[in-house]
Amino acid sequence: MAGQSFNFGRIFLQPSVVFFRSQLSFGFVNRKPVLPGHVLVSPLRVVKRFCELTEEEVADLFTSTQKIARVVEKVYGASSLSIAIQDGPEAGQTIEHVHVHVLPRKKGDFEHNDDVYKALDEHDKQEDSLVAETGSATNKGLRSEEEMAKEAAYLADLF
């Protein structure tokens, strides 16, 4: 998506990693996906906790999540989806901006189904520690801006 950068908490996302935008929400690819096709959906307004969203933002966020989920499930050949919000630090939220994880799921992708939540928790902590240590989430096994932009461009063409 052309234009200005998007705020994701204290992180500035390049428009090239954003593949979907509605009136109040946006969808973007993940720097370090837990599974192929793991994307995020967030309100445009930076809001720390889910209950701080307006009714309009909640409706838009979930409508956007539903639209994105349909596409991601089909594109990545999934048979199911895990859709999750980690709302607050004790729930595993590390970026202080409401966001919905959309993960396309396939039989056998985790030994135990609920292991996806452990993977999400560890994933977010690893990325947040990289930001804290380096001021950015580059390198150390994370995808490049080019890789992310390629996936975002592909997904954007489906909306």
d(CA 67, CA 32): 22
Residues serving a catalytic function are: 99
d(CA 117, CA 121): 6
In the chain the first and final C-alpha atoms are separated, in Å, by 12
Q: Which amino acid is at 9?
A: G
145-156 vs 55-75: helix crossing angle, rounded to 10: 90
Q: Which amino acid is at 127?
A: E
d(CA 77, CA 128): 29
Residue 82's DSSP bridge partners are 103
Q: Minimal CA–CA distance to 82: which of 113, 112, 108?
A: 113
